[in-house]
Structure 1
Amino acid sequence: MTANVPEGVALVVLGPSGLALAETLKPLLPGSEIHGLEGRVAAEVTFFDVTAHMRDLFQQFRPIVGVCAAGILIRALSGVLDDKRGESAVVAVASDGSAVVPLLGGHHGANHLAQAIAEATGGVAAITTAGDVALGLALDDPPPGWRLPNPEAAKPITQALLAGDPVRLSLEAGDADWITGSGAVFADAATMAIRVTDQAVAEPSDDLILHPPVLVLGVGCERGTDADELIGLAEQTLQDAGLASGAIACVASLDLKADEAAVHALAVHLSVPARFFTAAALEAEAPRLANPSDIVFAEVGCHGVAEGAALAVAGKDGALIVDKKLSRRATCALARAPGPMDPETIAMTGQARGRLSIVGIG
């Protein structure tokens, strides 16, 4: 399915004719549930009042796919519409899948959701947002892993591009194929600009700031290190280097730290995944370390945890840009990949935290 499809979609079905389509879509949409009208649709979640249920879902910022007429969704939600920046994705789908219409939250996942559903059903996604139609580009809905610290700047920049006014594209970190490969035309000199950067930018800025996921934060810590210490070290390191936390693609460490609460707390704090590597994998990075340590090697089997882990994710063409920094019980380092890292690629790098399931048979 299309990337950027939101998770936790509520597939709302009002009659038996739409249930088959909802059941087809459910396994294709991560975390989705079928919501059916009580007495008419047998579903995992049922409701009595269509308007009240739709509004509850919308105000919880749940993506909604209504297998029903678009007018039903419009009338149900008209009384709770306020600021488009706070709108969740709302999509109407014909019961036969022939027409898919993103009604609200086009740049909060609705356009991607509509395209993914149309792809699955063979239908047509009726995308109407100006940037997508004219430019093939939605600046306020970048690929997974990208961050916008000032999304309000996307609208005037998009309007300028649509009007043919000069806009400069500044690629300061990695690349931005989703922008350069669109229909947008950029100027070498302009007062308005899009900056693709991993640098921290003082707000407010008239430029649209896009942080690509090009940085890897490698960390190490003693057993039982307090999460606040590790988070504080990471934040201070970023601040000292003038780097943006929004450009961090993941947190990385030695697999012996896979159960360390502080490492996972840091990943949650940064809203990125945590990946873990064997000592052998980190030792392969030894020739590139700025601070190899025989003491660390004697303890865990590699000459550096923080630097080695950062480089392991950044790849052979990545570079260490901030060498090991220390607090009382923790270390961290930063590496930069040559280009933006896709979350799916990161998911296949190293290993994630394990999960134990206990199954009873009596």
Structure 2
Amino acid sequence: MSKPFAAVAITKHGVEMARALVDQFPGTDLYYMSKFARGDEAERGYELFEGSVKLILPDLFKRYSGIILFISLGAVVRMIAPILEDKKTDPAVVVIDDRGEHAISVLSGHLGGANELTREVAQVIGARPVITTASDVQKTIPVDLFGRSFGWEIESFDKATPVSASVVNEERVAVVQEAGETNWWTYDRPIPDHIKVYASGKEAAEAGFDAALVVTDRLLAPEEERVLLHNGVLYRPKTLVLGIGCNRGTAAEEIEQVIAETMADLQLSVKSVRNIATIDLKKDEQGLLDVCRKYKWRMDIYTPEQLNTVPLPNPSEKVFQYTGAYGVSDPAAKLSSGADSWLLEKKKSGNVTISIARVTPEARRNA
């Protein structure tokens, strides 16, 4: 896949609109029937096909994250039905009618991004976007997209459907938020009365609720899981920074083990780690690079001079002798997170030193 989207047309008018679309909508490959060839397809990188479009759809489903079809809705439904697999993996599908009057979100509206793709395509071609997802129509919380723009990760997805039903049916919904961005309500109206925000699960349980959206970087105790997640979805915001120092040549496995054990001891979720922070001497440390690559964490790098701007309760002359900084993990965690204190001051384990800090709202905005 060279581009994220594919546009497909099978009629004369569809080809006209599809060619116009790809000129204005970057990241879109174009496919249409060879009988409408104009002779410039090879030069422009357009793909021609023979026979039924149904034959190429399975391949397009695997290669693209979004498919824009200039084909009738009924035909599209019949053709894609046999190749659907899972809402978490199926691509976004948008259908455009032959006059370009309507752009219709057909498949993977939320997780696949079809609703947003529909709006964008409609704007380009001057069509009316047609979106039927209840949460979009009612302008309320889309459970499967909640916090996605901030990078939040859904840990428990099995109750997403009944929780979504509670949201759109205006049942009592508790948003239990212990961490993460708080500016998640983006509609031009107040939060509906049936959605209440609580600072803790205990507060929500005392008030009573029918469904819960739980946003925390903490590991929940079994009783908390029973109460909050019997009809709830758990979200992991990216709120934690791991300051890491290590000896040269430390294996990724040792670094990963220290991180896992430390997080478990503190009852914090590894899924809420935003990034690792360290000294510039470690920017090529293979073990650290491998861990970051595995978990898709970025690595924030600081010079000794930058690290030395952070006051430390226990500056180390030994560390200064080797690095030029009086500490690595502690000041790196503070600088990256913007925090005034640590959740964990430096702890040495084998070849690894680790510190943990929680990202401040200001640091999240500037990330």
- Say which of 65, 68, 90 aligns to 1:66: 68
SS of 1:269's partner is helix
Indicate yes or no: 2:300 matched with 1:281.
no
Distance between the aligned counterparts of 2:173 and 2:127, measured in 1? 35
Indicate yes or no: 2:322 matched with 1:311.
no
What aligned pairs does 1:132-281 form with structure 2 within 5 A after superposition? 132-141=136-145, 142-179=148-185, 183-184=191-192, 185-187=194-196, 189-191=207-209, 192-201=211-220, 205-206=229-230, 207-281=232-306
**Alignment correspondent of 1:50:** 53
Distance between the aligned counterparts of 1:293 and 1:194, measured in 2? 44
SS of 1:106's partner is coil
What is the CA-CA distance between 1:129 and the residue it aligns to?
A: 0.9
SS of 1:274's partner is strand
**Alignment correspondent of 1:11:** 6
Q: Is the 8 A contact 2:102 2:128 kept in 1?
A: yes
Q: Is the 8 A contact 1:220 1:330 kept in 2?
A: yes
Deviates more, 1:132-141 or 1:39-48: 39-48
What is the CA-CA distance between 1:259 and the residue it aligns to?
A: 1.5
Q: 5+ residue gaps in structure 2?
A: 10-14, 197-203
Distance between the aligned counterparts of 1:94 and 1:37, measured in 2? 15
Distance between the aligned counterparts of 2:286 and 2:97, measured in 1? 47
Distance between the aligned counterparts of 1:144 and 1:194, measured in 2? 15
Letter aligned with residue 323 of structure 1: E
What is the CA-CA distance between 1:88 and the residue it aligns to?
A: 2.3
Partner deviation per Cα, 1:297-331 (whole Å, 9 max, x = no partner):
2222222222222211211x453111222232222
What is the CA-CA distance between 1:33 and the residue it aligns to?
A: 4.7
What is the CA-CA distance between 1:132 and the residue it aligns to?
A: 1.9
Pairwise CA RMSD: 2.9
Distance between the aligned counterparts of 2:331 and 2:57, measured in 1? 49
Letter aligned with residue 7 of structure 2: V
Partner deviation per Cα, 1:78-124 (whole Å, 9 max, x = no partner):
21124434322222356897643221111112223333444555654
Q: Is the 8 A contact 2:21 2:124 kept in 1?
A: no
Distance between the aligned counterparts of 1:88 and 1:140, measured in 2? 15
Query: What is the TM-score of this pair, normalised by structure 2?
Result: 0.79
**Alignment correspondent of 2:117:** 113
What is the CA-CA distance between 1:282 and the residue it aligns to?
A: 2.0
- Aligned-pair identity in percent equals 28
What is the CA-CA distance between 1:20 and the residue it aligns to?
A: 2.9
What is the CA-CA distance between 1:183 and the residue it aligns to?
A: 4.0
SS of 2:238's partner is coil
Distance between the aligned counterparts of 1:95 and 1:322, measured in 2? 61
**Alignment correspondent of 2:20:** 20
Q: Is the 8 A contact 2:69 2:93 kept in 1?
A: no
Q: Is the 8 A contact 1:310 1:335 kept in 2?
A: yes
Q: Is the 8 A contact 2:3 2:29 kept in 1?
A: no
Partner deviation per Cα, 1:239-270 (whole Å, 9 max, x = no partner):
11100112111222222222222112212222
SS of 2:234's partner is strand
SS of 2:361's partner is coil
Letter aligned with residue 81 of structure 2: S
SS of 2:159's partner is helix
Rg larger for: 2
Q: Is the 8 A contact 1:176 1:196 kept in 2?
A: no
Distance between the aligned counterparts of 1:67 and 1:209, measured in 2? 35
